Chains A and B, each alone.
Chain A
């Protein structure tokens, strides 16, 4: 449903995104994460057709992102979505429905259904008089006005209170269950972990890791082994009448087993603990890419 091939974006001599290649299958929820300035938003905007890539290409729903027709199949929610505050939610959404060629009756029904789903009231109040959470719901409703197959959501819950955030994440999960293909970017990795099927991690303009969560944990995460013995060993801690040692590899587990046997004891339990996405992300982000982000000869003085 989405194909990005060697996307590159330069601003002057600064390389914001370099060699970004990935694909997203139909109905998949795909996460893009990375530290600030990693190139996530630039990548998403290139996919939405807002930014022209310096090189490379991308397709969404079978259309080149430069084609206007592609936009009929896309719902884009930018990180910040200031609305036309003089308008009401109904007039605002009706206007965009017209631009997306949605038939009047269909548009009216869809607007009310979506606002019902989002539990948005005060539909005839000016947007300028609404809370940030309500405005965000209107922005989400706008992204759904054309009933798109593909949704690109950049930080959909940014700056919202926990209640509204949870509601929006749950709403996004419902959209995924309905079969929408979603690219999702968020700083809250718990949200990404909870709804994304696959993830790419970007750093310094490049994709530095990719895969489903298990793959990422295997490749970039660490497994921690909690080994429980009947005898006290070096660096072990007494817990409920037994001793716990924490090690990072199976070899170390075997060493503990041997030490316990030497001391006249034995290993009575071993528990494993996988890295969270956040720990994976930190491991990847801290490693960096090691390269310059400037075109040769264009480095700032």
Chain B
């Protein structure tokens, strides 16, 4: 790769496209970007007020809680009594110092929000005290420590008197009541709510409030590792939604332009003369991609800095930008690969829409569970949310969130660059044919099959993470169905990942079509997958393995202790070799025979996984 030529191509790409725009289009584009940039942070910071008046509360004007409800825009004060509470016309009924909660999920959420509002209200009142030492008699120094067992050690995150997050203390202002004394949902408990100290408001379960100490709990610090969507519904994770919108929507526009410029090189053989110039195809791809990558990073950087400034009141957002970078690369790489497959702008449109849906889901769906546990870390957007909330982020969490999409982006660029050559670039073969070409081009020796299987692991990993995030809500309601669903997805994805490139190599006559060769290729692929899937161990670093669902997907179940552990260590190797060999032998034939063989391999894989899960259970 020649950096000078790469930059020259990048400059040319900008000039070429700028030359095709008239002034009016440029002016409109700039106006839209400025408007978007100005409005997005406001929306993200809650300025749009979509949560305004969502909870109805009945409270007398002379109640000590009146000011709390009146000051918080989330609450609307209405008239109502016992009947209104039962009929669901109000969520909270405050009678003196007792708080009555509607027996609905919205009622629980309203109470949770009300507790936060009381805390904020109390802090506000205390901040206005002339004697601040009296208002805040205890100074707490918070120190972050690396967690030895992620997700388990909550108390280590806070110092001083608040070391035990489980006791429900709050902000160090007072040790308040022990969270274990009250369940927090019990209407009218109110123990300690009087006195105007925030500690008293934490008559709840203590666990959630423990994590709220100064908003300083490291990620995954909740005792409730596996959380539940019920914890966050309602209120809806508006911030995650807005972040997905703010960060991901610009990328959707960007990939349209990027996909078009890549495809236009292919149509009418426009890119042929670049290919015959003294530049490598990596120079061409890098040069054409660089302006779009730089543009995306610039836009996302501005958004991240603006959001950080609004959320934290200072300059920052570097972690957010770093977290968004793999998503940017994933969008660009998937579009690049799609543009190599597409034969027309019509097909490209279909591909980019698919990319938009899948990658937006990948970025957004896990981020919904930001407050619910490690499953959220599947999406790099969760890092953004946590940075904006002022939470510390461990290196393992950052690596877990960003490494798979980084590697997958590299894989997509690698496969696409394999097709960036004369005979594929200007060919009008089917998308299936192009996919097979992309997989077959790097393979010329049997061991290449094993390496290609390893290279495909990030894609397998990302697919499985996405599946976990999508199946997670189902699994909460019905663990058995969730488990079977995830095992099916795992088997399908893994068996195709182990065999599709073998089929591609056979379709290109790379190897002799004999059973002996097929077995060798199957063994190579099986071993490659066994070695490569150890990347799934990354999930353990952030505690994702604490989720049953993730454990099934990434590890194939619990590993028992004792002598049988050896069997369980080598059983996956045997499984991968056997199933890859089944598919490999099927790949000797035409497509139907291959698909039939893969189906058989999937069944074997599924039976194995179910057996392991049942035996271990």
Residue pair B278, A78 in contact (C-beta under 8 Å): no
A8 to B272, CA, bound (A): 21
Residue pair A86, B17 in contact (C-beta under 8 Å): yes
Which A38-92 residues sit within 8 Å CB-CB of chain B? 45, 48-52, 68-69, 71-72, 74, 76, 78, 80-84, 86-87, 91
In angstroms, how far is the closest chain B Cβ from the Cβ of A290? Answer: 24
Contacts of A50 in B (CB 8 A): 272, 275-276, 422
A142 to B17, CA, bound (A): 21
In angstroms, how far is the closest chain A Cβ from the Cβ of B283? Answer: 9
Residue pair A142, B273 in contact (C-beta under 8 Å): yes
Residue pair B422, A86 in contact (C-beta under 8 Å): no
A45 to B269, CA, bound (A): 13
In angstroms, how far is the closest chain B Cβ from the Cβ of A149? Answer: 14
Say which size band chain A's interface belongs to.
Answer: 35 or more
Contacts A11-B423, A91-B15; A80 near B275 (Cβ below 8 A): no
Q: Which residue of chain B has its CB nearest to the CB of A71? A: B278
Residue pair B422, A82 in contact (C-beta under 8 Å): no
A95 to B16, CA, bound (A): 11
Which A120-167 residues sit within 8 Å CB-CB of chain B? 126, 139, 142
A252 to B36, CA, bound (A): 92
Cβ proximity bits B255-293 to A, threshold 8 Å, 1 near / 0 not: 000000000000011101111111110000000000000
Residue pair A69, B272 in contact (C-beta under 8 Å): no
Contacts of A83 in B (CB 8 A): 270
In the complex, B386 has a CB within 8 A of chain A: no
Residue pair B280, A51 in contact (C-beta under 8 Å): no
In the complex, B97 has a CB within 8 A of chain A: no
In the complex, A101 has a CB within 8 A of chain B: yes
A158 to B508, CA, bound (A): 34
In the complex, B344 has a CB within 8 A of chain A: no
Contacts A51-B422, A86-B16, A295-B509; A69 near B269 (Cβ below 8 A): no
From B8, B12, B15, B270, contact of A82 by CB (8 A):
B270
The B interface, classified by DSSP as helix, strand, loop or mixed, is helix
In the complex, A100 has a CB within 8 A of chain B: yes
In the complex, A212 has a CB within 8 A of chain B: no
Cβ proximity bits A176-207 to B, threshold 8 Å, 1 near / 0 not: 00000000000000000000000000000000
Residue pair B277, A96 in contact (C-beta under 8 Å): yes
A78 to B271, CA, bound (A): 12
Contacts of A100 in B (CB 8 A): 277-278
In the complex, B19 has a CB within 8 A of chain A: yes
Q: Which residue of chain B has its CB nearest to the CB of A126? A: B19
Contacts of B508 in A (CB 8 A): 12
In the complex, B313 has a CB within 8 A of chain A: no
Q: Which residue of chain B has its CB nearest to the CB of A98? A: B8
In the complex, B448 has a CB within 8 A of chain A: no
Contacts of B17 in A (CB 8 A): 86
Residue pair A84, B16 in contact (C-beta under 8 Å): yes
Cβ proximity bits B279-312 to A, threshold 8 Å, 1 near / 0 not: 1100000000000000000000000000000000
Residue pair A78, B269 in contact (C-beta under 8 Å): yes
In the complex, B5 has a CB within 8 A of chain A: yes
Besides the known contacts A12-B508, A50-B422, 14 further A-B residue pairs in the complex with CB atoms under 8 A apart: A50-B276, A68-B279, A78-B272, A78-B276, A82-B268, A82-B269, A83-B270, A95-B12, A98-B8, A99-B5, A99-B277, A100-B277, A126-B19, A295-B509
Q: 7 interchain pairs (CB within 8 A)?
A: A12-B508, A50-B275, A72-B278, A87-B16, A95-B12, A99-B9, A126-B19
Q: Which B residues are within 8 Å of any A CB, using their own CB?
A: 5, 8-9, 12, 15-17, 19-20, 268-270, 272-280, 421-423, 508-509
